[in-house]
Amino acid sequence: MIAGVIVDVPAIGTDRTFDYRIPDDLASAVQIGIRVVVPFGPRKLTGFVISLKESSEHKRLKKIEDVVDPSPVINEELIDLGKWIADNTLCFLHSAYQSMLPAAMKMNYTKRIHMTERTDLDRFPENIQEALQSDKGLSWDEVLKMGSEYVRSVQTGLNEGQLDVQYEIRSKGNKKKQKVIKISKTPKELAEARDEIIKRAPKQAAVLNFLLESKHQEILTQTLIERTNSSRAAVKGLIYKQLLLETDKELYRDPYQDREFEKTISLPLTSEQKQTIEPILEDIHTETHETFLIHGVTGSGKTEIYLQAIEQVLHLGREAIMLVPEISLTPQMVHRFKSRFGSEVAVLHSGLSVGEKYDEWRKIHRNEARVVVGARSAIFAPFKKLGIIIIDEEHESSYKQEENPRYHARDIAIQRGKFHKCPVVLGSATPTLESYARAQKGVYTLCTLSERVNNRDMPKAEIVDMREELRSGNRSLFSETLFERLKDRKEKGQQSVLLLNRRGYSTFINCRDCGYVAQCPHCDISLTFHKRYSTLKCHYCGYEAQQPSNCPECNSEHIRFFGTGTQKVEEELNRLMPEAKVIRMDVDTTSRKGMHEKLLNSFAEKKADILLGTQMIAKGLDFPNVTLVGVLAADSMLHLPDFRSSERTFQLLTQVGGRAGRHELSGEVVIQSYTPEHYSIQLAQHHDFLTFYNKEMQIRKLHQYPPFYFLALITISHEELMYVVDICEKVAGRLKESLSSQAIVLGPVASPIPRMKDRYRYQCVIKYKNEPKLKETLNEILVHYQKRMQRDGLVVGVDMHPQTIM
């Protein structure tokens, strides 16, 4: 037999299937979807087996040398999906497949085979039985050495769920295991044994008696010893007599395991909710693919709709993927899903350790969890019978992966939805213009939830003109209005949330005499000031320097930090309202594991009056006692040179406004701005999505941006400036030649960050409507520069549908 293998060589010329002969001794071990080790030139590499065939047009094929995985790690659906990703994002097939696996599996760990609850030991050859019963389990490498008969026996066991494979991560990622006792005899046999040994071994008899009375089929060894007041020796005696069987049971590193979740049940839906959920349920029942866009104001009950749709899916024996943005994967959100679906829920997010993520992934793989709640990469959850895919806050830019493969989770969701014939649901209070336009065209089905549940009012929002404040002599970060409100809430014992959008507002060092700004020596970007350590740091390359006491240019002492960081706001709050307790949430205070949750919990427990933070507090939070939301600088990202900056501003202000007054108490929002007349601020004040949509669509049309045009971004980088400029010019020329006259090629121009990590960066932007030859042309360009990319460190990056072109 011949196997088609995608090898791990990140280069254009090798981005295809290579045929390898399967040697007889591995014949039963090689399957579609497993990884193998193959010779490639002088090297040995791993690769994915994606096809099996009888013959090959190539002669003198090399042999597969080894088999990495005992059972498939990607199935045929995902194999096809990988091809689609490679084709549509212009990435390598290998990296498409790699991105579907949890990090733990990307490294070469020892694979061990273990028993499961369903193991029927007698079915396996004797030496396999022995190894399975040992503490370490059976090593896959050993099985391979035993020969094909054994390999087949183990693989059948794996397929039937009788056995389980674990990728053993050395060091800290190790599996947690505990010893369990299983009863291998009938009650009658146990009773006879007990009566026989009662005089000689009363402790052993007591253990058997306990098992007979409690009718346990399985119990932790430790618990058994404690409950019967016996000893390890007594239990061992019974194992020796083959009355009991002891195995290792794996404990999942479940980050939520010590938590009790109170079960919740479906709420009776409002009529708007019913109208929305009905067509979705219909598709679930008839196994029809359709993409829905739920445009529902904050607090309109979208999440309740998701929960009830998933409930139906589970009821029909199918599975569900629920994507949420990383930052709104808050404990509250997880709690809502765990409370409704209990242990059926696996959670995947970046806060988990490599081992924890792997465990959650395995629960899915083994069909022990049928709902996954997770960030972007959870879209690849290896389910086999998907019944629904939901993307909450579909407008979030984090659904696009900003490294290869540059896929958007929404596109993957729709691909998988088509395959599984199930609905895909996109939800947001502020959908992207792209999605809303598609819904208007009828490509997606639009559902609108225009009212909050129980008709709670949308919070009243007020805009404060900070220029006026300055004119009237207020130099503080807080307007008169916001400060008054904060005091008022403190007096009433209610809570406030303060948002400082840090993007475009980081703190930098600036000389007031000569205007010098401290810059990273490797990247053309200002260094960010970190007060805690008095250091300056580059957020792109990690470069660090001490804070200078004098200006390096003019030696002036008037060098100080500028801009408004959360630390600075916190200090000012402490000075102005010393009686108020403040919790600050930003990258600095939440970098340690578990801190995010800890801070939110203490805010929920009303241990503070004010929650101050960056974007990470804008979403998903739901605190009954919050009645005021303040936005310190609404325009901080409005003036970034990015065509989506108005849309992002509108989204952020609308989202953060939605945090107030979600319960009995009504809420207020205060938005501070230096450009209060801007339409995205004005319209966010009135929660007026439709007017914003129409206005912004006109602007996009006028300037030829999405959703009227598609974009592709080509970035060229290298250490030598002239080399970069030269190649970028040639690329632009080539594109202009090959594309139709409708396509617009902009550039070459220097990238918005013209130098990063000592490499110069130039870019071209393509705006196009319909260019069937675009991907082909881009591929030709990549092939053309392939050698230079391998040899001289040239990088040609392609981003189809970039989130930002700055």
Angle between helices 331-341 and 302-315 (to 10 degrees): 40
CB of 624 to ligand ADP, least distance (A): 9
Rounded Cα–Cα distance for residues 209 and 374 (Å): 46
Site string for ligand ADP, 171-190 (x = CB under 6 A): --------------------
Residue 118's SS3 state is coil
Cα–chain center distance at 109: 23
The contacts of residue 652 (CB under 8 Å, 6+ apart) are 499, 501, 615, 618, 637
**Is 353:297 a contact under the CB 8 Å cutoff?**
no
In this chain, which of 194, 302, 644, 678 binds ligand ADP, going by CB under 6 A?
Answer: 302
Q: Which residue lies nearer to Zn ion by CB, 279 or 752?
A: 752
Mind giving me the DSSP string for 233-257? HHHHHHHHTTSEEEEEEEEP--TTT
> Per CB under 6 A, does 300 bind ligand ADP?
yes
Q: Is 683 in the site for Zn ion (CB under 5 A)?
A: no
User: Tokens at residue 475, please?
Assistant: 């130099």
Q: Encoding tokens for residue 591?
A: 């970098």
Closest CB to Zn ion among residues 6, 518: 518
Report DSSP state, residue 12.
Answer: G
Backbone angles phi, psi at 273, to 5 degrees: -60, -40
Secondary structure element (H or E) that encloses residue 789, with its range: helix 786-791
Please identify, among the stretches 62-70, 262-270, 716-724, 749-757, the one whose residues bind ligand ADP according to the rule CB under 6 A: 262-270
**Stretch near Zn ion under the rule CB under 5 A, chosen from 150-158, 177-185, 546-554, 668-676:** 546-554
What is the pattern of x (binds ligand ADP, CB under 6 A) and - over residues 440-459? -------------x------
Q: Answer yes or no whether residue 270 interacts with ligand ADP by CB under 6 A.
A: yes
Which residue lies nearer to Zn ion by CB, 444 or 508? Answer: 508
Shortest distance, CB of residue 754 to ligand ADP, whole angstroms?
41
The answer to whether 137 contacts ligand ADP (rule: CB under 6 A) is no
Q: Does 665 bind ligand ADP (CB under 6 A)?
A: no
Q: Is 331 in the site for ligand ADP (CB under 6 A)?
A: no
Cα distances (Å, whole numbers) of residue 252 to 167, 174, 176: 13, 10, 7
Stretch that binds Zn ion, among 228-236, 436-444, 488-496, 530-538 (CB under 5 A): 530-538
Which residue from 47, 102, 237, 301 is in contact with ligand ADP, where contact means CB under 6 A?
A: 301
Of the candidates 157, 255, 296, 459, which one interacts with ligand ADP according to CB under 6 A? 296
- Single residue of 27, 233, 267, 749 touching ligand ADP by CB under 6 A: 267
Q: Is 511 in the site for Zn ion (CB under 5 A)?
A: yes
Cβ atoms within 10 A of the Cβ of 647, count? 20
* Cα 694 from Cα 647, distance rounded (Å): 12
Let me know how long the chain is: 806
Task: Please choose, out of 200-208, 266-274, 508-516, 630-638, the segment that lies near ligand ADP by the rule CB under 6 A.
Answer: 266-274
Q: How many CB atoms lie within 10 A of CB 363?
A: 20
Q: How far is the CB of 439 from ligand ADP (least distance, A)?
A: 17
* Dist. CA 50–CA 97, nearest whole Å: 10
Contact call for residues 646 and 696 (beta carbons, < 8 A) = yes
Residue 770, amino acid: N
Kindly tell me which of 335 and 784 has the beta carbon lying closer to ligand ADP.
Answer: 335
- From the list 103, 220, 269, 446, which residue makes contact with ligand ADP (rule: CB under 6 A)? 269
Q: Please report whether residue 230 would count as binding ligand ADP according to CB under 6 A.
A: no
Contact 633, 639 (CB under 8 A): no
**Which residue from 155, 247, 291, 298 is in contact with ligand ADP, where contact means CB under 6 A?**
298
Q: E-strand spans in 442-596?
A: 445-449, 460-465, 495-499, 508-511, 528-530, 535-537, 544-546, 559-562, 582-585
CB nearer to ligand ADP: give 268 or 493. Answer: 268
Nearer to Zn ion, 700 or 755 (CB): 755
540 binds Zn ion (CB under 5 A): yes
Which pair of tokens denotes residue 122? Answer: 């007698």
Amino acid found at 740: S
CB of 724 to Zn ion, least distance (A): 18
Task: Answer with the entry of ligand ADP, Zn ion, none that 174 interacts with (C-beta below 5 to 8 A by kind).
Answer: none
Residues paired with residue 612 on neighbouring β-strands, in sequence order: 498, 584
CA 130 centroid distance within chain: 41
Nearest to 186 by CA among 168, 163, 164, 212: 212
Candidate segments 100-108, 370-378, 432-440, 508-516, binder of Zn ion by CB under 5 A: 508-516
303 binds, among ligand ADP, Zn ion, none (CB under 5 to 8 A by kind): ligand ADP
Considering the complex, state which of residue 562 and residue 674 has its C-beta at the smaller distance from Zn ion.
562
Indicate whether 516 belongs to the interface with Zn ion (CB under 5 A).
yes
**Structure-derived torsion over alpha carbons of residues 506, 511, 516, 521, reported in degrees to the nearest 10:** -60
Q: Residue 763 binds which one of ligand ADP, Zn ion, none, with CB within 5 to 8 A depending on kind?
A: none
What is the DSSP code string of 660-711? S--SSS--EEEEEES-TT-HHHHHHHTT-HHHHHHHHHHHHHHTT-TTTSEE
Should residue 299 be labelled a site residue for ligand ADP when binding is judged by CB under 6 A?
yes
Q: Which of 552, 590, 566, 85 is nearest to 331 (CA)?
A: 590
Residues 616 and 330: their CA atoms lie apart, in Å, by 10
With tokens 């193998």, the residue in question is: 36
Closest CB to ligand ADP among residues 456, 460 = 456
Asked if 377 interacts with ligand ADP (CB under 6 A), we say no
Residue 500's binding partner among Zn ion, ligand ADP, none (Cβ under 5 to 8 angstroms by kind) is none
270 binds, among ligand ADP, Zn ion, none (CB under 5 to 8 A by kind): ligand ADP
Distance in Å, CB of 269 to ligand ADP, minimum: 5
Tokens of 258: 């010590």
543 binds, among ligand ADP, Zn ion, none (CB under 5 to 8 A by kind): Zn ion
Question: Rule CB under 6 A: is residue 799 a binding residue for ligand ADP?
Answer: no
**Least Å from the CB of residue 267 to ligand ADP:** 4
Coil, helix or strand at residue 78: helix
CB of 100 to ligand ADP, least distance (A): 29
Q: Choose the contact partner of 317 out of ligand ADP, Zn ion, none; CB within 5 to 8 A by kind.
A: none
- Binding to Zn ion (CB under 5 A): which residues in 550-569? 551, 553-554, 556
- For β-strands 710-718 and 759-768, DSSP reports them as antiparallel
Measured from the CB of residue 560, what is the shortest distance to Zn ion in angstroms?
11
Q: Binding of ligand ADP at residue 162 (CB under 6 A)?
A: no
- Residue 783 binds Zn ion (CB under 5 A): no
753: nearest Cα among 788, 727, 789, 715: 715
Of 779, 792, 690, residue with least CA distance to 433 = 690
Q: Write the CA distances from 123 to 15, 128, 153, 163, 554, integer angstroms.
A: 42, 10, 9, 11, 83
690 binds ligand ADP (CB under 6 A): no
Q: For ligand ADP, how many residues bind (rule: CB under 6 A)? A: 14
Provide the binding-site residues for ligand ADP, judged by CB under 6 A. 267-270, 273, 296, 298-304, 453
Residues in contact with Zn ion by the rule CB under 5 A: 511, 513-514, 516, 520, 522-523, 538, 540-541, 543, 551, 553-554, 556
